[in-house]
């Protein structure tokens, strides 16, 4: 049983590391909110400059670029409808950014539990042997202490997997939140400039 627990802990550890590297690579500022697109949005003051912005967004696929393309595709719509469409697209982009984080969240919960399961089964085995043979001398007590020390390692391993996973999960969630606020601000300013001439005095 201990071997099974160690295998599960190993798989959990590899999964956590893989997801952390994958999301760390995907959730880069240059990948989600490219500076070139940010600059193009800031420079876009009229609809005459929209083709340039669209070309840049198509050349650099990103969450922000896809949102801007959605907004530019619907500039002939009323502002409220365009903003509604943009909000829907933004929710889809946030879901894409959150991919894989549920795996880290699950690992945070199950890694310590797997370690605890290994410890409990190990304790049952050790104390079962003691119940049969008893503690006859100091050497037996020493072996018991060594056995318990070895058993507790599964709990320690579980915690060592869970703690970094929790840190990564919290960091990525916060980063996605910052991305969401940044993209919302940029898109809101872009929409406001494009519809400025349509506003009633």
Report the candidate in 38, 83, 80 with the shortest Cα–Cα distance to residue 60.
38
Q: What are the tens digits of pLDDT across the range 32-43?
A: 999 999 999 988
Which structural domain, as residue segments, surrounds residue 90? 2-198
Q: How many CB atoms lie within 10 A of CB 87?
A: 12
The pLDDT of residue 152 is 84
pTM of the model: 0.84
The pLDDT of residue 135 is 55
Both structure tokens of 148: 């318990």
In the chain, how many domains are there? 1
Report the candidate in 106, 117, 170 with the shortest Cα–Cα distance to residue 7.
117
The answer to whether the beta carbons of residues 30 and 175 sit under 8 Å apart is no
Q: What are the tens digits of pLDDT across the range 51-108?
A: 999 999 999 899 999 999 999 999 889 989 999 999 999 999 999 999 999 999 999 9
In the predicted model, what is the mean pLDDT of the chain? 87
């Amino acid at each position: 049983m201990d071997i099974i627990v160690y295998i599960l802990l190993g798989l959990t550890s590899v999964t956590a590391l893989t997801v952390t590297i994958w999301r760390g690579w995907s959730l880069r500022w240059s990948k989600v909110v490219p500076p070139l697109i940010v600059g193009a949005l800031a420079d876009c003051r009229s609809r005459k400059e929209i083709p340039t912005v669209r070309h840049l967004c198509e050349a650099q696929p990103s969450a922000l670029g896809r949102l801007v393309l959605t907004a530019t595709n619907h500039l002939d719509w009323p502002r409220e409808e365009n903003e509604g469409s943009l909000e829907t697209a933004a929710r889809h982009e946030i879901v894409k950014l959150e991919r894989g984080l549920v795996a880290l969240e699950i690992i945070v919960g199950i890694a310590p539990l797997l370690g605890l399961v290994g410890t409990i089964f190990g304790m049952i085995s050790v104390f079962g042997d003691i119940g049969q043979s008893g503690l006859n001398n100091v050497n037996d007590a020493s072996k018991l202490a060594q056995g318990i020390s070895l058993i507790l390692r599964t709990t320690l391993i579980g915690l060592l997997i869970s703690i970094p996973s929790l840190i990564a999960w919290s960091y990525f969630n916060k980063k996605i939140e910052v991305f969401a606020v940044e993209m919302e601000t940029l898109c809101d300013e872009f929409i406001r400039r494009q519809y400025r001439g349509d506003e009633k005095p």
